Structure 1
């Protein structure tokens, strides 16, 4: 199996599948739950879970069913630190009044984009620089005429709960990478992606 990197520790593709199942559940899953969800044999699952716990990607939690006897073990994916920080910051910026893009979030995104522009070095074409930066940061961009379609979101947890703030950060990121204002951003709620128009 080829190793896949998830949140720093290197895990196998089967372990990545188990971890993805835990993250999607958003709650502690028992061995039986994981067997049902993945189809993997319980003994195989135990080995994968032990490795994920040892790597710090998951926690093993004693759960009681209310009856007597030993507690059952549940497994819970650990939230990557950056994801928790993103949700916390988005929460603090979200005024909750449905207004458009928050200026502070745009400024934060712009600072991120300016740092990326410096890291990318001398890429003369602004559109190419934006595509490189967006691919590097996990947005999986594609082009559609004059528009750039963002097919993934590296801040997905925060985007689900605070879309206006995260979209503002994305817009600022693009403008920071470009080195100029005037980009546009239209969310695609059905995919949790966005469409960016460049100035």
Structure 2
């Protein structure tokens, strides 16, 4: 489905699980099994891949009654309750690489964005690249062009869900990186493979 065979969201089942967790956090494996009709072992494998990518966080349920506490899963949003250590490490590494590149090739634009915003874009570009995209960023217009979107091309009937999940992931990365940029939405397009995401500065 994606250009990269190693993408954590190259499986539509994982996209579906992420969508469920973005809609409502703190879900158990049994809840996810019931919602997806997938076997528990399959759901566990998908959650492990999503966790390794920094897209899902797990917490142990606090119980006041007897019985083994459940493990509850949420989409990583970058906020305190759903911040991923994996995502934090990736954000830090992306900022360091970006700073190194800017020292080697100075910014001819004169630094239109704040350092925090630039580091957010570093993290976003890194994350999108790992998911098989080749993003083109316009720092002045604050747009991220992901066209052509191979996800939408391979699953046109699921475009709404796919776009919703991807926008949620992008917002999670921006929040984890910290800074003024947020996802504002997608620009309208007749071509389902055209995807331009509009960012905004808070």
TM-score (norm 1): 0.39
Work out which structure has the larger RCO, using CA pairs closer than 8 Å and 6 or more positions apart in sequence: 2
Task: Flag the structure with higher strand content.
Answer: 1
Greater Rg over alpha carbons, structure: 1
TM-score (norm 2): 0.38
